[in-house]
Chains A and B, each alone.
Chain A
Amino acid sequence: MTDISDKETMPVGRRGFIRNAAAGGLSLAAVSLLSGEPVAAQRGRYGTAAPADAQGDADLLNAALGLEHEGIAAYTIAAGSGLLEPAVVEVGVLFRGHHQAHRDELARVIRTLGGTPVEPKTDAEYVEALGFAALRNQTDVLNLALRLERGATSAYLGIMPALQDGDHDHLAARIAVDEAAHFTALAGALGQSLPGNAFIFG
């Protein structure tokens, strides 16, 4: 395993970033097996008119929306930090776009359930909460992104058993897989091997 502290210079270029991510060892096809559809289908909840606890699902998805707001802010702040090479900024903007799409879909579902989507905090609050002031270089920023993506993946997997509606399970699983793909790309960019033990997330 490479010591990431020795790797101040990141691979440049979007293709290089993704190529290095693939070399990190986790097939995205394998990750896609985490897709929630079979899980939800096994539960036999598709086709039900409404979840037994619509408010409960809305609350859980609202917590997930908070994670998406945080991720969007993190990539936005990082892009403007001056610590990243342009090619890495480009990848960060790509990932931010994914989080924005997650945000929009989560907000839509929460409204459908009669809930009110949670609003983002201010950038200043995110800067303080995520410890941006202590970040000194690109490696620090990428490590922060890695932690956030790993935590988000686990969070989505963690709420799935509590969601009452199979469609919401499926949405959470689809988002979790996106976050796992981000994690894999970031780990590869940092030159990190993936964890040796199975059940990396959750």
Chain B
Amino acid sequence: MATLRALVLLALPLVCGSLGEAEGRAQTTEGARLYTQRCGGCHSLDADRVGPRHRGVVGRRAGSIEGFLYSPALRGAGFVWTRERLDRWLQNPRRMVAGTTMGFSVASAAERRAIIDYLESQD
């Protein structure tokens, strides 16, 4: 019995790890769906459209895609995109950077997190 309990305890972190990974994958899948639905009207991962391309956005300096016509406000924002900044941005881009031409926001914190997880996974 003691051996069985020990085996269960030893296996628990593995099980939890697997569940965590599965949860992460599900979150990314949901993020992909949300990205397509919410962001895909104007953005793509690899092409500049109405908005700039998104692949590699986490860690990139804001307003720095060469050849994309940013608003002066975003071009001069002078910060690097982090998860936290992307979360603030998606909550209310115009409050974060007055003068940006992006007006789309995502009210749900869970949906913002899923979108940001997806973007980070696409680096």
Contacts and interface: CB of A to CB of B under 8 A. Distances in A.
A151 B49 CA distance: 12
Contacts of B39: 151
Interface string A16-37: 0000000000000000000000
A124 to B, nearest CB: 13
Nearest to B69: A118
Interface of A is mostly: helix
A67 B41 contact: yes
Interface stretch (B7-15, B75-83, B100-108): B100-108
A150 B41 CA distance: 7
A152 B36 CA distance: 11
Interface string B83-115: 000000000001000011111110000000000
A159 B37 contact: no
Interface of A: 56, 59-60, 62-63, 66-67, 70, 128-131, 147-148, 150-155, 158-159, 161-163, 201-202
A158 B47 contact: no
A151 B102 CA distance: 15
B42 interface: yes
Nearest to B106: A158
A158 B38 contact: yes
B42 to A, nearest CB: 6
A155 B42 CA distance: 7
Interface in B22-75: 36-42, 44, 47-51, 71
A50 to B, nearest CB: 18
Nearest to A155: B41
